[in-house]
């Protein structure tokens, strides 16, 4: 009985909802049907594409949480947060740049710098080149 009253109220309020919200709800319901039609042995298997679809739909229109039935709203929010964390981890990764130099070479540059106070980065760079170390002058200046 309660379900019938809820259904009637939903039908009565639907003309007052925005068109984009109704389209989003329809898209969410259709995607849930697709997932349920793919179900194997009694349980719908949600693929990464389905997760991405639901998360993107949630980002555009957060009110779709009300129409989700095959996943819990907390699960969708958890997927969204996990994707956000992955994105920021990906953007803050190392992207090449200056090559790492061995710690022994860093110690040698510091030692040359402290033992020869009048030598600047160009002189230390020249001495390292004579010793056979391929290091740029800006790297020497960094450790000088």
3-state class of 116 per DSSP?
coil
Domain parsing of the chain, residue ranges: 20-91, 103-143
Higher model confidence: residue 7 or residue 120? 120
3-state class of 83 per DSSP?
helix
pLDDT above 90 for 72? no
Q: Which of 109, 58, 99 is nearest to 82 (CA)?
A: 58
pLDDT of residue 41: 65
pLDDT above 80 for 110? yes
pLDDT above 90 for 85? yes
């Amino acid at each position: 009985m309660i379900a019938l009253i809820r259904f009637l109220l939903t039908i009565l309020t639907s003309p007052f909802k925005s068109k984009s919200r109704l389209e989003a709800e329809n898209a969410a319901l259709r995607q849930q049907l697709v997932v349920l039609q793919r179900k194997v042995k009694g349980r719908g298997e949600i693929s990464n594409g389905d997760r991405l679809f639901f998360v993107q739909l949630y980002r555009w229109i957060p009110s779709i949480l009300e129409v989700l039935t095959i996943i819990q709203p907390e699960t969708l929010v958890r997927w969204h947060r996990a994707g956000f964390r992955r994105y920021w981890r990906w953007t803050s990764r190392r992207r090449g740049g200056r090559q790492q130099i061995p710690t022994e070479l860093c110690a040698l540059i510091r030692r040359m710098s402290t033992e020869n106070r009048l030598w600047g980065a160009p002189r230390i760079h020249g001495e390292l080149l004579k010793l056979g170390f391929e290091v740029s002058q800006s790297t020497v200046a960094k450790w000088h």
